[in-house]
Amino acid sequence: QSALTQPPSVSGSPGQSVTISCTGTSSDVGSYNRVSWYQQPPGTAPKLMIYEVSNRPSGVPDRFSGSKSGNTASLTISGLQAEDEADYYCSSYTSSTTLVFGGGTKLTVL
């Protein structure tokens, strides 16, 4: 199972919006709504930010939103804040009953 494709890095200034893409195949992202996004600041464990494409767990700010079209999912962070600087990973359930992650995207808040 190949990793999902994410851009290595994105950046934005405070208050701006950024979008991180996550491209898979018809065997994962394209066939299932079990797409999640995780935030991982340096030296910490990942934190679930979005589940089932567009749902936010309790406590996650509504500045974080998710969507999907075909084989590509996206995470949008609006109103960027310094605390959003972290690595972000997408994941998807697959047709083999496994989980595949994206390669990760480093978000820099300028």
Partner 1 sequence: EVQLLESGGGLVQPGGSLRLSCAASGFTFSSYAMSWVRQAPGKGLEWVSGISGSGGSTYYADSVKGRFTISRDNSKNTLYVQMNSLRAEDTAVYYCAKDWFPRLLTLTLDYWGQGTLVTVSS
Q: What residue ranges bind partner 1 (CB under 8 A)?
A: 1, 3, 34, 36, 38, 40, 45-48, 51-52, 57, 89, 91, 93, 97-104
The minimum distance between CB 48 and partner 1, in angstroms, equals 5
Q: Compute the distance between CA of residue 51 and CA of residue 110 in angstroms, rounded to an integer.
A: 27
- Closer CB to partner 1, residue 48 or residue 110? 48
Q: Which helix (H) or strand (E) holds 83?
A: none
- Closer CB to partner 1, residue 24 or residue 102? 102
The minimum distance between CB 14 and partner 1, in angstroms, equals 26
Helix (H, G, I), strand (E, B) or coil at 82: helix
What lies within 8 Å, CB to CB, of 43 at 6+ separation is: none
- Closer CB to partner 1, residue 13 or residue 43? 43
The minimum distance between CB 18 and partner 1, in angstroms, equals 19
- Closer CB to partner 1, residue 36 or residue 71? 36
In sign, the C-alpha dihedral spanning 80, 108, 72, 16 is positive
